[in-house]
Amino acid sequence: MARTRHVIVGGGTAGMNAISTIRRYDRGASEIILVADERPYSRMVLPYYLKGSISESHVFTAPPTRLRTLDVEPFIGRRAVGVDTQINTLMLDDGTELPYDNLLIATGSSAVRAPVAGADGSGVHSFWTLEQAQGVIRGITPGCSVVLVGAGFIAFTILNSILALNAQLTVVEIAPQILPRMIDATGADVVTRWLQERGVTVRTGVQLNAIEDADGRKRLRFRQGEDVMADQVIMATGIRTNLDWLEGSDITINRGIVVDAHMRSNVPNVYAAGDVAEGRDAVTGEAALHAIEPTAMEHGRIAGANMAGQSQTYRGSLLMNIVEVLGLEIASFGAWDDADAEVMSALRPERPAYRKLLWHDDRITGAMILGPARDIWATNDVGILKGLVQSGVSLRDWKSYLRGNLFDVKRAFIAAGATGRLLPQTVLGRPSVAAESVAVQ
């Protein structure tokens, strides 16, 4: 019998996790082909490369030796341009046709720039790929002024790096607050003040109209208020899924590829994982497009296990983010902006510190935590908030205790028995193994 042939499109987090999971189960029994238009690397460590705290080589997750260890046949630098699910064949940009038994679509997302005049000009960057990161690194020189257009999570992941390069930073955001999809308005106020006190200019509620050239510099014009001058502009104005190449195929796409609890699309031997997959949100139970690393990792592992012939059901992904700006930690978990939830919050402006818990009955379904790094890491609270949301443990009497003691979640977590609920939980129904221990036999 011929070896089963798995074709993986995309060598990011989801793709690489799928590959190592397939190999964990089959130890080399199948054929694995990786099609990726870039060398496999981790996008989310690019901010550290920008900052200069890691070298470029550190970002790569699967150098050729690793791909050989996993017995993967690479088509690196090639793009998938179409798929015919009737004849189980993937088409590449150079005309190659790759027949498959199982196909995994893990093509991630791309940055999109707000449609304003001049957004494609020189000195205007996106920050999503390694190549774009290299462009920003070339562009920023000490003392130069940088404008970040968009104050979302991705913009915030590079904020420290830009400042570490001794650039002057202005952040502009169309929404009335910074981090609109990660924290609420109260939290955003705390963060904004923290940044302003440390020399970062923050302007919210302003719409960029145009980016013009002005004597070798850039002039940003807004619908409201004064122009801003800059040497470099970074547009962090959103992302979209890389699914254009599937146009005309019979794979069902809503906001992302619609998948079942096995990460299977409507076509049974076509799987999807990561930013492109619209999988189950563990808290809401609804289909969601998360575009975060942990979701891509879990999607990839579940898809890989099922492609390898297992039957692994996914309980769903937990939305979570953490980012630190100039020593202030900001994290949120689960359904932190659920309008139907019962809310408890506490603000200590002098630290500053802010907490928010969202409840359905006596269970926590969303949480927010914010405070100086030294306060935050003196506690176990960051992970404990994740554990409270993930375990869905019933907090009974602790709920009323927490109302007045929002900064004391640990004892509630322990006494409610969250540890006992969490210990048996694994994503693949068995203990995880270290990545480097997975190799073909």
Partner 1 sequence: MKVLRITPQRCTGCMRCEIACSYEQSGVFQPAKSVIRISPFEAHTSYAPYTCTQCDEAWCMVACPVNAITISPVGAKIILNDLCVGCKLCTIACPYGTMFYDPDTAKATKCNLCGGAPACATACPTQAIEYVEAESADWLGSFAAERAETQLAQQA
Ligand X SMILES: Cc1cc2nc3c(=O)[nH]c(=O)nc-3n(C[C@H](O)[C@H](O)[C@H](O)COP(=O)(O)OP(=O)(O)OC[C@H]3O[C@@H](n4cnc5c(N)ncnc54)[C@H](O)[C@@H]3O)c2cc1C
Task: List the single partner that 106 binds among partner 1, ligand X, none, CB under 5 to 8 Å by kind.
Answer: ligand X
Task: List the single partner that 108 binds among ligand X, partner 1, none, CB under 5 to 8 Å by kind.
Answer: ligand X
Question: Which residues in 86-125 contact ligand X (CB under 6 A)?
Answer: 106-108
Q: Which amino acid is at 191?
A: V
Secondary structure percentages of the chain, helix, strand, coil, to 5: 30, 30, 40
Task: List the single partner that 9 binds among partner 1, ligand X, none, CB under 5 to 8 Å by kind.
Answer: ligand X
Pairing of strands 102-105, 270-272: parallel
Which is closer to ligand X, CB of 259 or CB of 416? 259
CB of 108 to ligand X, least distance (A): 2
Q: Could you report how far apart the first and last alpha carbons of the chain are, in Å?
A: 19
Number of amino acids touching partner 1 (CB under 8 A): 66
CA distance 275 to 41: 15
- Burial (CB count within 10 angstroms: exposed 0-12, middle 13-18, buried 19+), residue 257: buried
CA distance 191 to 88: 50
- Contact window for ligand X (CB under 6 A) among 39-47, 51-59, 171-179, 394-402: 39-47
Q: Which two tokens stand for residue 82?
A: 């179409």
User: Buried b / exposed e across 94-105, counting CB within 10 Å, b at 16+?
Assistant: eeeebebebbbb
229 touches partner 1 (CB under 8 A) = no
The DSSP element (H or E) to which 66 belongs, if any, is helix 64-69
Which is closer to ligand X, CB of 105 or CB of 344? 105
Q: Which residue in 8, 305, 331, 364 binds partner 1 (CB under 8 A)?
A: 331
Interface characters, 399-418, with partner 1 (x: CB under 8 A) = -xx--x-----xx-xxxxxx
Q: Which residue in 173, 278, 293, 381 binds ligand X (CB under 6 A)?
A: 293
Sheet holding 89-92, edge to edge: 80-84, 89-92, 97-99
Which is closer to partner 1, CB of 243 or CB of 393? 393
User: Buried b / exposed e across 12-21, counting CB within 10 Å, b at 16+?
Assistant: bbbbbbbbbb
48 touches partner 1 (CB under 8 A) = yes
CA distance 432 to 65: 23
9 touches ligand X (CB under 6 A) = yes
Question: Which residues in 374-393 contact partner 1 (CB under 8 A)?
Answer: 374, 377-387, 390-391
Residues that bind ligand X (CB under 6 A): 9-15, 35-38, 43-44, 46-47, 79-80, 106-108, 127-128, 154, 157, 242, 245, 274-275, 291-294, 296
Residues that bind partner 1 (CB under 8 A): 13, 42, 44-45, 48, 53-54, 58-59, 61, 293-294, 297-298, 301, 320-322, 324, 327, 331, 333, 373-374, 377-387, 390-391, 397-398, 400-401, 404, 410-411, 413-420, 422-427, 430-437
